[in-house]
């Protein structure tokens, strides 16, 4: 079976962003010291968006067929 490739055309909250990988305790300390820093975890929201994209492209059973 030929492998399918998709281009993600949807923009999301991570698009064109940068990641600074730090240890969790450093992150926790920074959030504690600067609670109004504006950092918001959008992971779950974006996971749901990606699931919707895959469902639209591959149908409701995409996970069973592709994973």
**Which of 34, 36, 66 has the alpha carbon at shortest distance from 50?**
66
Each residue's pLDDT tens digit, 7-45: 555 555 655 566 778 899 998 898 889 888 777 788 898
Alpha-carbon gap, residue 54 to 67, rounded angstroms: 12
* Phi, psi dihedral angles at 22 (to 5 degrees): -135, 165
Confidence (pTM):
0.47
């Amino acid at each position: 079976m030929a492998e399918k490739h998709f281009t993600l055309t949807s923009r999301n909250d991570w698009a064109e962003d940068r990641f600074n990988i730090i240890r969790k305790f450093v992150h926790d300390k920074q959030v504690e010291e600067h609670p109004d820093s504006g950092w918001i975890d959008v992971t779950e929201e974006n996971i749901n968006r990606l699931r919707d994209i895959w469902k639209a492209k591959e149908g409701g059973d995409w996970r069973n067929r592709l994973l």
